[in-house]
Amino acid sequence: MPQNIGFVSTRFSGTDGVSLESAKWAKILWDYKHISYWYAGKLDRNPGISMVAPEAYFYDRDNVWINERAFGTRGRTTELTKRILGVADHLKGTLYDFIENFNIEILLVENALCLPMHIPLGVALTYLIAETQIPTIAHHHDFYWERPRFAVNAVGDFLSMSFPPTLPSIQHVTINSFAQKDLSWRKGASSIMVPNVLDFEHPLPETDGADFRETIGLEPDDIMMLQPTRVVPRKGIEHSIALISQLKNPKCKLVVTHESGDEGVEYQAALTELAEHSGVDLRFVYTKVKQPNAQAESNGATVSSLADAYAQADLITYPSLYEGFGNALLEAFYYRKPVLVNRYAIFISDIEPRGFKVITMDGFLTRNVLEHVRKVISDEQYRTEMVEHNFKLGTKFFSYSVLRRKLRSLITAFTGLDDL
């Protein structure tokens, strides 16, 4: 029986993992006639099936005020407590309106009950779920205990209560095995692990992306090293700069497709300076690339797709220091491109054991890494065998069919009907 599913988060907009994965979940749910509705502080979804509550956005003025006083200190004022509870009460009212307006039957909370970017929203959801016992799937991408910036805080009671809450009507979903074990150990809560996925069974129509190089000013014979990530410190872009510097090949160019997002521009400025000192041609091209789910406004300028960028890439660099999972890595497999990976923890535990063939580094570049990169770039047969092998494994372990099986189990647990 089709259900009305209410997706809830602080933001569904742009290219962050929460926004991208939630769209994939909604697509699979719609295949079985389950209708998805959206609630957030910032949205780029269809307005006809959405409710925007500006106070739920993590950059809302009240929430910024709260976060400035909640983290980095252990002392809490009466005013901070009042402000958290006051905003939470207001948001709880908007959530009740959302449920009533769209006749929501199952809540699907995306990261709002695990990462305290918006404490009042987490508290509001906790109270709402406790009061209504509404069936809830809590999809956890990041936990607060994984982020050093939340370690010192004045809101331990709120974190304990709502990030995440352990209520009978909540089914918890984690995206990697580390998070699954941590949730069990810290909260005594079981969870279903659902990895991030791509539609490997239905590859996009092939594109050579020939115009992309011209759009960003590259020559046809340039070696394009593509870093398809946001410009934030944990993405380790400085390692990509170091790689190109040590290759000592002036034809190698580093192209970064995404913008800084919500973590400031200081890192991008530091990377620009580092590249200049290292003699590396570094290009930030997010204004030239239309992002998934984004409504790009080109204003007459040429705007390419992310698929075009991948099509023209000679090598994907993915030297992340930390990832909740690793969407860009799956994209490299999906677009059949060789990839350099810094062996972050989740890669070691959940991806590497599957047998993917990648160039690996362990926090620093070595002569062997450089030689492996040179071999991948120069040996077409070796490169082809590598990417075809990875595509087959991606189809087996990280495809929509995997997500479909997992969602069937989650929805059936609430409805008792095996119709998803």
Structure tokens at 63: 């929430």
CA distance between the termini of the chain: 9
The helix (run of H) or strand (run of E) holding residue 268 is helix 266-278
Confidence (pTM): 0.87
Which one is predicted more confidently, 19 or 81? 81
Residue with the bigger pLDDT between 32 and 176: it is 176
CA distance 27 to 21: 10
Token look-up 């992310």 returns 306
Q: Rounded to an integer, what distance in angstroms lies between the CA atom of residue 390 and that of residue 19?
A: 25
pLDDT in tens, 174-210: 999 999 999 999 999 999 999 999 999 988 777 677 7
Compute the C-alpha angle 403/324/374, nearest 5°.
Answer: 100
- Mean pLDDT of all residues in 93-97: 98
Higher pLDDT, 211 or 50: 50
Assess contact for 53 and 39: CB atoms under 8 A. yes
Domain-by-domain residue ranges, the chain? 4-197+400-415, 210-397
- DSSP lists the bridge partners of residue 39 as 8, 51
The residue-averaged pLDDT of 386-408 equals: 96
pLDDT confidence of residue 197: 94
pLDDT in tens, 317-366: 999 998 888 889 999 999 999 999 999 999 999 999 999 999 999 999 99
**pLDDT attached to residue 296:** 41
Q: Which two tokens stand for residue 145?
A: 């205990």
Mean pLDDT of 244-252: 96
* Domain 4-197+400-415 class, CATH top level: alpha beta
Residue 258 pLDDT exceeds 80: yes
The CATH code for residues 210-397 is 3.40.50.2000
pLDDT surpasses 70 at 65: yes
Q: What is the pLDDT of residues 124-167, one digit of tens each?
A: 999 999 999 999 999 999 999 998 899 999 999 999 999 999 99
pLDDT tens, position by position, 269-319? 999 999 999 999 999 988 777 655 444 444 444 566 888 899 999 999 999
Distances (CA, A) of 44 to 20, 91, 153, 309: 12, 20, 32, 23
Phi, psi of 417 (to 5 degrees): -115, 125
Q: Is 124 exposed, middle or buried (0-12, 13-18, 19+ CB in 10 A)?
A: buried
